[in-house]
Structure 1
Amino acid sequence: MKRILFFLLVVGMALSIHAQAPWGSQSKVVTDTIYSKILKAERAYTIYLPKSYEVDKTRSYPILYLLHGVMGVNTSWFTDQRAGEVADLLMASGEACEMIIVSPNAGGNPYKGDWNGYFNMPGWAYEDFFYQEFLPYIEKTYRVKADKEHRAIAGLSMGGGGTASYAQRHPDMYCAAYAISALMDIPEVGAMPSQSPDDKMAILTKSVQEHSCIKYVLNADDATKEKIRSVQWFVDCGDDDFLLDRNIEFFQAMRQAQIPLQFRVRDGGHVNEYWHSALYTCLPFVSRCFGK
């Protein structure tokens, strides 16, 4: 009997040690806030830390900035599109490398009068916040490989347009950009008319038009085009998506400028399940780009 108890004790200790090993650790999805002096407000963000993050305190990681859509918030990628679950699966299978994934909150509901958007607007200097406060804070607070070769950006809808525009205008910051169902531009015809000078949705619409990803490429000089070529590009849009034409126009502009990009049109619309499925291509894509 004593031998049996001793054997069970040894097995229990072995299992306990196994549970504490790196292969027994878990990834974490954490929501926190940063105070912005530029926006004069607390801004939330949600961050995914891979399973080895708490095990190896000396290790640093590549990072993916993940931008939500117009009706989303920082948690949306991890609730509606289940980014943490996809990351766990792909990292466990070796299809994606371990990385940090972070999604900032770019606003609230513009239909209810909240500021929203990734660009600077009167009263909402979000892009200044992102580059002067948020990105430096994240890469100082967490163990990030803080260079172009290990930093990527991706997003859906409004965040897809933000992804493309940020990578166009800050090509020295990113090795890869993955734009999903992207709001590359809003044509003047069909754009939402302004009901008042303070209409947040109209201000957001104007900011997207002023930062047209399509026109930026068409108007770029040779030096700018060469810088944009330093980014690895991937554009992903559903065949039933109302933004498909804008994505095709972006692809045509990039092709005309001889800027390489991968362009995929898959079955689907402007919906959560499409964006969830895009992660299975996005995470392996940025993984292949890291370190190059």
Structure 2
Amino acid sequence: MRNRLFFCVILLVCFAFSLQAATVDTLLTRSVSMKKDIKAVVIKPAGYETGKRFPVVYLLHGYSDNYRGWIEKVPVIKEDADRYNVLIVCPDGGYSSWYWNSPVDPAFQYETYVAEELVAIIDRQYKTNPTAAGRAITGLSMGGHGALYLALKHPDVFGAAGSMSGGVDIRPFPNNWDMAKRLGSYAENKTRWEENTVINLLHLAQPGKPALMIDCGTADFFFAVNERLHQELLYRNIPHEYITRPGAHNWDYWKKAVRFQLLYFHEFFREKNSNS
């Protein structure tokens, strides 16, 4: 009898916990600029059904991945959504968009999609804090480039930005990852490449806008360009957090890195919205 009672209590506790767990939506969104429907994962924290509004972290995938990449490979981010009471949105950025508005391919207008169309859809359909103080953006590799690129160009949309193993300077890699398909070849379009690499956009940064956190493993092939970005940020007196630790360009690294990013954004949201 005692064992049966204990078992029933455990079941009730597990059931109650499951009722409080984060939930995951697969949202079909419309991109007017690209004239197509695009899917996104939206993770809602356990307390979402309360009357409050929630900050949002946009979490971008890397080259050759899709909107399901983060939730399938790092499902623990659902726990972080609960822990920090935050919405997490994982959009589909295309196989190789680099989150640019491609000047050579009208089918790749992902700057407009993420920074304008998707943000408007999320704010319309979910209970969000619809201000820059309530939005952050980060990503891995191609998505790390995309997050910094979008935040620097749209400081009125994203108040904080991060990068994990990001391709923060594209110029050393003119033949890689389909970038030439989006910008044209480097040899024939040097100005275009110079204008669309993160390290050349730092003049757009304002004091504390956006708040920045950059993370890259010391064995990563993007480590050198992240080091250069860090030094340029220091030279320009742009506040930022910079993390390096042993690790390569892989999911073992990003599984840990994303949790540091979410903690950083949690502190940003708490500071910016403490009086709201």
TM-based fold match above 0.5? yes
Question: What one-letter code is carried by the residue in structure 1 that aligns with 2:181?
Answer: I
Q: Structure 1's 228 and 213: CA in aligned 2 closer, same or farther, altered over 3 A?
A: farther
Instruction: Write the distance in 2 (CA, Å) between the matches of 1:60 and 1:250.
Output: 35
Instruction: Write the distance in 1 (CA, Å) between the matches of 2:99 and 2:173.
Output: 22
Match of 2:154 in 1: 170
Match of 2:100 in 1: 119
How many residues of Structure 1 are paired with residues of Structure 2 in the alignment?
Answer: 257
1:211 aligns to 2:196 (yes or no): yes
Instruction: Write the distance in 2 (CA, Å) between the matches of 1:46 and 1:190.
Output: 30
Matched-pair contact (CA < 8 Å) for 1:239–1:268: yes
Q: Which stretch of the first structure deviates more once superposed, 207-216 or 18-27? A: 18-27
Matched-pair contact (CA < 8 Å) for 2:53–2:129: yes
Give the one of 180, 195, 204 matched to 1:202: 180
1:283 aligns to 2:262 (yes or no): yes
Match of 2:56 in 1: 63
Aligned partner of residue 64 in structure 1, secondary structure: strand
Match of 1:234 in 2: 213
1:31 aligns to 2:31 (yes or no): no
Matched-pair contact (CA < 8 Å) for 1:68–1:155: yes
Instruction: Write the distance in 2 (CA, Å) between the matches of 1:19 and 1:239.
Output: 41
Listed one character per residue, the Cα deviations across residues 50-88 of structure 1 (whole Å, up to 9, x for unaligned) are 1122xx3412211000011111101101112x1x42341
Matched-pair contact (CA < 8 Å) for 1:191–1:205: no
Matched-pair contact (CA < 8 Å) for 1:235–1:264: yes
Q: Structure 1's 42 and 169: CA in aligned 2 closer, same or farther, altered over 3 A?
A: same
Aligned partner of residue 137 in structure 1, secondary structure: helix
Q: Which stretch of the first structure deviates more once superposed, 174-183 or 23-32? A: 23-32
Match of 1:86 in 2: 77
Q: Structure 1's 37 and 231: CA in aligned 2 closer, same or farther, altered over 3 A?
A: closer
Flag the structure with larger Rg: 1
Matched-pair contact (CA < 8 Å) for 2:40–2:90: yes
Instruction: Write the distance in 2 (CA, Å) between the matches of 1:256 and 1:183.
Output: 20
Aligned partner of residue 29 in structure 2, secondary structure: strand
Listed one character per residue, the Cα deviations across residues 5-31 of structure 1 (whole Å, up to 9, x for unaligned) are xxx99xx89x86x77868842211222
- Cα RMSD of the aligned pairs, angstroms, is 2.7
Instruction: Write the distance in 2 (CA, Å) between the matches of 1:126 and 1:265.
Output: 29
Instruction: Write the distance in 2 (CA, Å) between the matches of 1:165 and 1:97.
Output: 25
If the length of structure 2 is used for normalisation, what is the TM-score?
0.83
Listed one character per residue, the Cα deviations across residues 140-171 of structure 1 (whole Å, up to 9, x for unaligned) are 10111111111111111011011111111112
Instruction: Write the distance in 2 (CA, Å) between the matches of 1:249 and 1:176.
Output: 20
Instruction: Write the distance in 1 (CA, Å) between the matches of 2:126 and 2:81.
Output: 19
Instruction: Write the distance in 1 (CA, Å) between the matches of 2:246 and 2:57.
Output: 25
Question: What one-letter code is carried by the residue in structure 2 that aligns with 1:35?
Answer: R
**Structure 1, unaligned stretches of length 5 or more?**
111-115, 194-198
> 1:130: how far off?
2.1
Aligned partner of residue 220 in structure 2, secondary structure: coil
Matched-pair contact (CA < 8 Å) for 1:46–1:75: yes
Q: Structure 1's 76 and 91: CA in aligned 2 closer, same or farther, altered over 3 A?
A: closer
Instruction: Write the distance in 1 (CA, Å) between the matches of 2:90 and 2:253.
Output: 18
Instruction: Write the distance in 1 (CA, Å) between the matches of 2:199 and 2:44.
Output: 34
Match of 1:182 in 2: 166
Identity of aligned residues (%): 27
